[in-house]
Amino acid sequence: MDGIDAALVRIRGSGEDTEVQIEDFICREYSDAAKKLLLSPGALNTASLSDLNFLLGQEFAAAVFDLLRKAALKTTEIDLVGTHGQTVFHNPPSLGQEGSSTLQLGEADVICETTGITTVGDFRTRDIAAGGEGAPLIPYVDYLLFSGTGKNVIAHNIGGISNCTLVTKEPGELLAFDTGPGNSLIDSVVRLASGGERSFDEDGTMAKKGSVRKNLLQSLMKNPYLDIEPPKSTGRELFGEEMAGRLFSLAEKSGISTPDLLRTLVEFTVCSIVSAYERFVYPSADVREVVLSGGGARNPVMVSSLREKLAPVPLSLSDSYGIPSDAKEAVGFAVLANETVCANRANVPGVTGARDATILGKISIGKNVA
């Protein structure tokens, strides 16, 4: 929830012939009204959720306009918008509940009508309907981007939630799953500690001043999610505001400073990643490189700790492959939107657990289609 990422991407071809060129990128802050509602979506009634869906559609459309102004382009020069939306609820099969569902807000019809551009959105629901986790979906894109390296690579994204993809030469050997928390707990604690004035720990400044509380870290590493074997996915329902609130209260009662709590949560993200590799990835593949993207790649405390614990496996940023780490997920859903309009199946059943490979997303036809 740092903001709305928007990437300008030129795509040629589709499927394994896809060529991707990243031309520009922005991150647009959510309005105060949207932020307030998104912090506790579970407390919203039906009317508020419906209104928020349309409000976010308008904000995503505004991000499109901001990006086009920066790139000096007109809406008539754009063929397609791909939008992931903002996840407000995710209940995948791996949680073992009676039913499974997922909900991303940011109405594609609003984006389409406002910009006039054909818009593809709601990518996760079809995979859930097919019995899958609905996540992660980026592994298909990771394969297109990194399979040509000639070596086994882990493409790892640290957003609110942390997820990895093992990319090998063969698409059938893809392994991907959510490893656990990314920045979600850290960001939530920063909001609580600052009374809402700050939304994240820029450059890891606060965490850098703290020390890891080993007892708390050991307790966090006992979270049952970490023991579940892939396919699996998670979200803020588990590693979000509610858990952060409990940890913040515990820290206050136990005399744990905010910098110490943040440094411990950084280490929780790092250790959960390394543990996931050791248990679920390394036994099946000789990994030669980890390529990092997402907001976590901009936290030097997190990157330094992860690099140290992964050694001798080298850690690099996706920037070294021509993919700005902040833009990676936005680029991914641009590619998935292209796959949708080309009628290509873009989920990976071996990754999500779906019964079948399916075409993802729903299409809102824009004024740019004759």
DSSP letter assigned to residue 182: S
Query: Residue 187 above 90 pLDDT?
Result: yes
> 121, 111 in Cβ contact below 8 A?
yes
Section 272-279 average pLDDT: 98
**The two structure tokens encoding residue 318:** 């996706």
Exposure string for 150-182, b = 16+ CB within 10 A, e = fewer: eebbbbbbbbbbbbbbbbbeeeeebbbbbbbbb
> 86, 104 in Cβ contact below 8 A?
yes
Residue with tokens 């790649």: 297
Domains 4-135+326-364 and 139-321 are alike in CATH topology: yes
Distance (Å, rounded) from C-alpha 145 to C-alpha 160?
Answer: 22
Strand order from edge to edge, sheet including 161-167: 175-181, 161-167, 153-158, 289-293, 315-317
CATH code given to domain 4-135+326-364: 3.30.420.40
Tens digits of residue pLDDT in 196-239? 899 899 999 999 999 999 999 999 999 999 999 999 999 988 99
The CA–CA distances, whole Å, from 260 to 177, 217, 265 equal 29, 11, 9
Query: What integer pLDDT is reported at residue 43 of this predicted model?
Result: 87
Q: How does the average pLDDT of the chain come out, rounded?
A: 95
Query: Residue 165 above 70 pLDDT?
Result: yes
Query: What integer pLDDT is reported at residue 148 of this predicted model?
Result: 87
Query: Residue 57: which of 20, 111, 6, 93 has the closest Cα?
Result: 111
pLDDT band for position 4 (50/70/90)?
Answer: very high
Q: 139-321 belongs to which CATH class?
A: alpha beta
pLDDT band for position 7 (50/70/90)?
Answer: very high
Percent of the chain exceeding pLDDT 70 equals 100
AA identity, residue 137: L
Tens digits of residue pLDDT in 59-73? 999 999 999 999 999
Q: End-to-end CA distance of the chain, in Å?
A: 36
pLDDT band for position 370 (50/70/90)?
Answer: low
pLDDT band for position 294 (50/70/90)?
Answer: very high
pLDDT band for position 170 (50/70/90)?
Answer: confident
Tens digits of residue pLDDT in 93-129? 998 998 999 999 999 999 999 999 999 999 999 999 9
> 186, 200 in Cβ contact below 8 A?
yes
Tens digits of residue pLDDT in 248-261? 999 999 999 999 99
Helix axis angle for 184-193 and 241-254, nearest 10°, is: 60
Distance (Å, rounded) from C-alpha 89 to C-alpha 99?
Answer: 13
Section 306-333 average pLDDT: 95
Domain-wise residue ranges, the chain: 4-135+326-364, 139-321
Query: What integer pLDDT is reported at residue 188 of this predicted model?
Result: 95
Percent of the chain exceeding pLDDT 90 equals 87
pLDDT band for position 172 (50/70/90)?
Answer: confident
